[in-house]
Amino acid sequence: MLLLALSCLAVCIWLLSSQLIQPYPHQANWFESAALFPKISLLIMAAGGLFEIYQRRHQTESGESEELDSSAAIIHDAIAMLLAFGLYMVAVPFVGYLSSTLVFLLVACWLLKFERLTSLILAVSLSFTMWVVFVKILKVYFGQSWLI
Partner 1 sequence: MEFIDALTGGFSSLGSLPIAIALVIGAALGIVVGVLPGVGPGVTIAVLLPFTYGMAPLGGISLLLGVYCGAFYGGAVTSILIRTPGEASSIMTMFDGYPLARQGQAQRALSLAFMSAFVGGIASALLLGLVARPMASFAAKFGAAENVMAILLAAVCVGKAYRRQFPAAMMMMGLGFFLATVGIDPNSNEQRYTFGIPGMLSGIPLVPVAVGLFGMAQALVMVSSPVPQFDASLIQTAGLSWRGFLEPFRYPKAMLKGLFLGSAIGVLPAVGAALSTSLAYFWAQQGAKDPTPFGQGNPEGIVAAECANNSNSGGAMITVLTLGIPGDAITAIIMGVFVVHGIVPGPSLFTDRPEIINGVLASLLVINFVILGLLILTVKPLARLAYVNPRILGLVILVLSFVGSYSAANSMYYVIITAIFGVLGLVCARANIPTIPLILGMVMGDTLEASLRQLLGRSDGSLEPFITRPVSLAMLIAIFLILFWPLLMALTKRLKNPNV
Residues 15-74 that bind partner 1 (CB under 8 A): 20-25, 28-32, 34-38, 40-52, 55, 59, 62-70, 72-74
Shortest Cβ 12–partner 1 spacing (Å):
12
For residue 62, the SS3 value is coil
Shortest Cβ 40–partner 1 spacing (Å):
8
Check: CB of residue 127 under 8 Å from CB of residue 105: yes
Closest CA to 131 of 110, 107, 104: 104
Measured in whole angstroms, how far is the alpha carbon of residue 69 from the centre of its chain?
Answer: 17
When the beta carbons of 38 and 120 are compared against partner 1, the nearer one is 38
The reply on whether position 137 binds partner 1 by CB under 8 A is no
When the beta carbons of 125 and 147 are compared against partner 1, the nearer one is 125
Long-range contacts, 122-125 (Cβ 8 Å, 24+): none
Q: Which of 8, 15, 140, 148 binds partner 1 (CB under 8 A)?
A: 140
Q: How many Å apart are CA 127 and CA 146, to the nearest integer? A: 17
Provide the phi-psi class of 7: left if phi over 0, else alpha when psi is between -120 and 50, else beta: alpha
Q: Which of 11, 91, 120, 134 binds partner 1 (CB under 8 A)?
A: 134
Q: How far is it between the farthest Cα atoms of the chain?
A: 68
The reply on whether position 3 binds partner 1 by CB under 8 A is yes
Query: What single-letter amino acid sits at 16?
Result: L
Q: Which of 11, 103, 130, 145 binds partner 1 (CB under 8 A)?
A: 130
The reply on whether position 98 binds partner 1 by CB under 8 A is no
The reply on whether position 13 binds partner 1 by CB under 8 A is yes
The reply on whether position 144 binds partner 1 by CB under 8 A is no
